[in-house]
Homo-oligomer: A and B are copies of this chain.
Amino acid sequence: MTIQAAIGKLSSLLGQRLACSKTELAQHGASETHFPLAPPDAVAYPETTEEVAALMRICAAHRCPVVGWGTGTSLEGQAQAFQGGVCVDFTRMNRVLEVSQADMHARVQPGVTREALNDELRATGLFFPVDPGANASLGGMASTRASGTTAVRYGTMRDNVMGLEVVTATGQVIRTGTAARKTAAGYDLTALFVGSEGTLGLITELTLRLRGIPEAISAAVCAFDTAADAVNCVIDTIQMGVPMARIELVDAATVRAVNAYAGMNLPEKPHLLLEFHGSETGVAEQAEVFGAIAADHSGARFDWATKTEDRNTLWAVRHNAFHAIMAMRPGARSLVTDICVPISRLAEAVEACRTDLESAGIDGPILGHVGDGNFHAVLIFDPEDAREEQKVIDASNRLVDLALSLGGTVSGEHGIGVGKLPYMKREHGPAWALMGQVKAALDPDGIMNPGKMTPPRN
């Protein structure tokens, strides 16, 4: 078999750093959500770009599938090896190569996690702002175009990756982008690789844009009578140009779950969680403007937390939400939806989602990054109950139709993997075939994370 022949050569290349134990294969074939196990045939642990290039040349020669791996926290099965082959685990490529305080950027290997980078940056007064919740690897975050709670202020990985080193499908090492703040020189290959989920090449180095830690940070939680009130408050806040650093919605069901999970005592109502970054006076000014807007939308009185420990308690609500939701029904799994709509349609989308799930009898607490128009419904089901699983998939399909009918997207931040692949044609129309042409040009043998992202080959 061609895969086995590749593995033989990779074993000579990497020695002990090519693993084929059942445990390791299973660990690298699992998903965070509801997809079946899809293990690779081997797991490689390269330590250098040169090793990744040598590995790719071997796999190209043998037409052996190659799937990149960061921390395994992706939510759509992006790193699962549905066609077997070699999983390239970047755990050992985890060095911060350079931090430039003057240029406010860092060069890192793909296995560095966002928390590890921020730890390394602690003394510099700088931080890397993209925060998807999980302590994901930066290579994985770039590959899935991750974002999270701070995207409303600091953007997504699209906006924060300045350049890449990539090993192509043929094992060539290329560099994209520059260390300059902007460039108009040539096709934007950086943007092409960001979000391509390992289907065009393997990222072996990233140059990331950093930000200054703000002089003042202030956070608050604010209850509303309805989710629509909360969302309309968000819309008005954006309209007023208030530069929120985070603005997150948790619905009443989520608050109920968090109260039970963390022994908290919040009113069981929709809440907005907010954070503002700026100067002392700037933050105070933002708080005042937001308070006035919230009061117009049934927002309760609230206090601002400016101390780090108080802010951490407050944000624990958001960070614990997923685990709190899952703890409500032990043994259950979830399908997490990820639609993102124009902000003007957000209230309508959240309400339609809520009504749909209720009428279908599905437990689906809603939470999300409402400043971007992106929200998640955590659709809970019993993995032993095929009927219930199908019911949840049907609801997810309806939600996708809703997003597209409102001018939105199937995925705000979780990416495509296998979970959203069935919707690509519907979202992109003929542009999906064009993505297939790009894929065929850069990966002519179809070995880079095969079966993902683009239309099946003829």
Please tell me if the beta carbons of B416 and A186 are within 8 angstroms of each other in the complex.
yes
Stoichiometry, as copies per complex, reads 2
* A412 partner residues in chain B, CB cutoff 8 A: 180, 182-184
- A residues 396-438 in Cβ contact with B at 8 Å: 407-416, 420, 423-424, 427-432, 434-435, 437-438
Determine if A187 and B407 form an interchain contact, defined as CB atoms under 8 angstroms apart.
no
Interface string of A172-205 (1 = CB under 8 A from B): 1111101111111111110110111000100000
Q: Which residues from chain B contact A410 at a C-beta distance below 8 Å?
A: 185
Q: Determine whether A241 belongs to the interface, using a CB cutoff of 8 Å to chain B.
A: yes
A120 contacts B by Cβ under 8 Å: no
- Give A236's nearest chain B residue, CB to CB: B102
CA distance A412 to B281 in the complex (A): 35
| Beta-carbon nearest neighbor of A215 in chain B | B241
In the complex, the answer to whether A413 meets B146 with C-beta atoms within 8 Å is no
Alpha-carbon distance A442/B442, docked complex (angstroms): 12
Residues of B within 8 A of A149 (CB): none
A403–chain B nearest beta-carbon distance, Å: 8
Which residue in B158, B186, B282, B438 is a CB contact (below 8 Å) of A195? B186
**Complex interface: stretch among A27-35, A108-116, A337-345, A386-394:** A337-345
**B residues less than 8 Å from A438 (CB atoms):** 187, 192, 438, 441-442
> Are A343 and B196 within 8 A (Cβ)?
no
Give the shortest distance, in Å, between A440 (CB) and chain B (any CB). Answer: 7
- The size of the chain A interface, using a CB distance under 8 A, is 87
Q: Is the CB of B184 within 8 A of A103?
A: no
| Most chain B C-beta atoms within 10 Å of own C-beta, residue among A173, A184, A285 | A184
Q: Hey, which chain B residues are within 8 Å of A212, CB to CB?
A: 239-241
A308 within 8 A of B: no
Which of B104, B411, B432 meets A183, CB within 8 Å? B411
A420 to B411, CA, bound (A): 37
A15 within 8 A of B: no
> Is B409's CB under 8 angstroms from A178's CB?
yes
Contact with B along A321-350 (1 / 0, CB 8 A): 000000000000000001011111000000
Task: Judge whether A248 is part of the interface by a CB distance below 8 angstroms.
Answer: no
A279 within 8 A of B: yes
A208 within 8 A of B: no
Knowing A103-B343, A191-B192, A438-B187, the reply to whether A179 touches B408 (Cβ < 8 A) is yes
Bound complex: CA of A423 vs CA of B196, how far in Å? 28
Tell yes or no: A361 within 8 A of B by CB.
no
Binding site for B on A (CB under 8 A): 100-105, 144-147, 151, 156, 158-159, 168, 172-176, 178-189, 191-192, 194-196, 200, 211-212, 214-215, 235, 238-241, 279, 281-282, 285, 338, 340-344, 372-374, 407-416, 420, 423-424, 427-432, 434-435, 437-438, 440-442, 453
A-B contact pairs, 23 of them (CB 8 A): A102-B235, A103-B343, A145-B188, A147-B184, A175-B428, A178-B407, A178-B408, A179-B407, A179-B408, A182-B340, A183-B411, A184-B195, A184-B409, A184-B414, A185-B411, A185-B416, A185-B424, A186-B416, A186-B432, A187-B192, A192-B438, A212-B240, A282-B282
